[in-house]
Amino acid sequence: MLDPARQPSADISDLLAAEAATPLLRFVTCGSVDDGKSTLIGRMLYDATLLFEDQLATLKSESRVHGTNGDDIDFALLVDGLEAEREQGITIDVAYRFFATARRKFIVADTPGHEQYTPNMATGASTAELAVLLIDARKGVLEQTRRHAHIASLLGIRHIVLAVNKMDLVAFGKPTFDAIVEDFAGTTSDLGFQTVQPIPVSARHGDNVTETSGNTPWYDGPSLMAYLETVEIASGSGEGPFRFPVQWVNRPDADFRGYAGTVAGGEVAPGDTVVVAASGKTAAVSRIVTRDGDFERAGTGDAVTLVLDREIDVSRGDMLAATRERPALADQFAAHMVWMGEDELVPSRPYLLKAGRRTVPASITGIKHRIDVNTRQQLAARSLHLNEIGVCNLSLAEPIAFDAYKDNRTTGSFILIDRFTGATVAAGMIDFPLRRALNVHWQEMTVDKAARAAQKHQKPAMLWFTGLSGAGKSTIANLVEQRLFARGCHTYTLDGDNVRHGLNKDLGFTEADRAENIRRVAQVGKLMADAGLIVMVSFISPFRAERRLAREVMEDGEFIEIHVDTPLEVAEERDPKGLYAKARAGELKNFTGIDQPYEPPEAPDLVLDTLSHPPDALADQVVDFLSEFGFLSLPQDS
């Protein structure tokens, strides 16, 4: 039912005006699993008489079927909507609820506490202004409690309610409450929270939820609802420079061109001059169009269509900004990241970075450190695993416009996407751009790749031989080079074992090291192709992602992926170096085919069947392929 103070008045315009003037608070409930987050929200809505009769009837009915409180109402069922949540008694997805009192409107995100669903917690916290962090009074501050506090801080939340729940199960003991508050303060003092309000509660029984409880006479603070109604949160509306990521170019006919999106920062009005961040082109705003008519001014959060006074090149994904306060434009930056992927983060592996409406290829060029959420220490790391937080450097295929996350949560955030599965594997908060030294730039050479290749009467190429250890890659690559050399071609072979004696001797055989191994070799091969050479690269290169990275550094048509196809059992029988035997005995870790997978090419340019043909015949197949596609021509007679 509605609060009596919010019943419709005779003048509907007065009601609408009062509604619009009522402030809105977005908050998130978080904490470790089974700390009572969903129960707290359900109890809050029930005690504040904010449930309709049919909702209450349904809640009572479902409590008899799915409830965990005997004959009592199970308030968690109000927001735990998934069947799996009700069966297990935990929150999996993020549940959003809107409610209002006479003083304030609220949007609450109930987020899961289980470590497996930490990404969902980050999603719920990404738009929140305050976090209600629950702690089970019996368990105290746990690792997941600290992790959620750290994520809340990274995501820009500056106000925390420390709700110490289940106080009824510790006899409402003040020493227990005080110890938890002290522990939390000691481990989060450097997270930058502006306010931390501790409140002892019993979500199941309603103590200090909407009214202060007689069971805690030693507590003289507000109830949870009273605090949420009165806490002062800086709105930030209209603050900061103007930012407008273009979501869609609106062109219904030849006479109208508008740029639709949501204002991500600052304000704009007709007559203001804006700049396209990427190109530097400027124009003035002539109209601010909405379905309710033109606006005289638009501010943060307003979804509008901007019409400019002249036609300039603006596309979806571009950002319009204040001309005198432009965002950063860079293809490299440092960022805090929460890793969400089941597979570990691998530096140098290609991912997709999505920032606003822009999606560009990206890779992590280095992990500066990992953060231990328990001790707050910065630890050295070569990769990140599920739920770990780290500070990383990223490199993008092309520059994007952005702000530091501390300045703008919308234009300073991004996600990383796995290029093959489409899954989101990380959430990131940009710290600052990484500027290249001003005296380092690309030096154009008079003698270029085309001239070098023409002198050699051949087309440069990178022949990438991939397959299991013992497949015959090096043997075939060596035979191919012999045949090409005999024809007067200019060649070089990069062999996996050979480069580990020098260029890559610092690398091991972990997934991260393998990715870096391939990145370096791909760059060396690119330089050799730029010299006009035909380069043979013989590497196991077990992962498709790394081989794709090598293909992408080359120009179209220059990368030839050759799968030296040999079944594992045959490669293991050959075992020229005795490596399979050592791997089977557990003496050799991370060996491809045994305890590390090999991902065969999905669409190789050439497949060499080592069971059906001897190495000499397979080498001839490669040379014939090069001849057929115009890579070879005999040297001209002088």
Tell me if residue 166 falls in helix, strand or coil: coil
Q: Which residues pair with 335 in a beta bridge?
A: 392, 430
Task: For residue 287, give the nearest of 268, 302, 270, 304 by alpha carbon.
Answer: 270
Residue type, 314: V
Q: Would you state the structure tokens that stand for residue 551, as one six-digit string?
A: 């293909």
Q: How far apart are CA 287 and CA 296, in angstroms?
A: 8
Dump strand ranges (E) for 68-183.
Answer: 95-100, 105-110, 130-136, 159-165
User: Residue 422, by phi and psi: left (phi above 0), alpha (psi -120 to 50) or beta?
Assistant: left
Q: Would you state the structure tokens that stand for residue 536, as one six-digit string?
A: 């043979």
Helix extents (H) in 406-507: 449-456, 473-486, 496-499
DSSP 373-432: TTT--EE--S---TT-EEEEEEEEEEEEEE--TTT-TTTTEEEEE-TTT--EEEEEEEEE
CB 5 within 8 A of CB 103: no
Residue given tokens 């191994």 in the structure block: 517
CB 492 within 8 A of CB 533: yes
Q: Would you state the structure tokens that stand for residue 33, as one six-digit string?
A: 């699993």
CB 597 within 8 A of CB 474: no
Tell me if residue 32 falls in helix, strand or coil: coil
Segment (H or E) for 119: helix 118-125
Helix extents (H) in 472-567: 473-486, 496-499, 511-530, 544-553
CB 523 within 8 A of CB 503: no
Backbone angles phi, psi at 147, to 5 degrees: -65, -45
Query: How many C-beta atoms lie closer than 10 Å to residue 172's C-beta?
Result: 21
Task: For residue 466, give the nearest of 591, 608, 582 by alpha carbon.
Answer: 608
Question: Residue 422, class by beta-carbon neighbours within 10 Å (0-12 exposed, 13-18 middle, 19+ buried)?
Answer: exposed
Catalytic residue among 469, 541, 612, 633: 541
User: Is 541 among the catalytic positions?
Assistant: yes
Distances from the Cα of 201 to the Cα of 101, 132, 161, 253, 620, angstroms: 20, 12, 11, 59, 78
Tell me if residue 219 falls in helix, strand or coil: coil
Task: For residue 164, give the nearest of 190, 133, 210, 124 by alpha carbon.
Answer: 133
CB 150 within 8 A of CB 389: yes
Question: Residue 254, class by beta-carbon neighbours within 10 Å (0-12 exposed, 13-18 middle, 19+ buried)?
Answer: exposed
- The conformation of residue 514, written as its DSSP 8-state character, comes to H
Q: Would you please indicate which residues are annotated as catalytic (active-site) residues?
A: 541
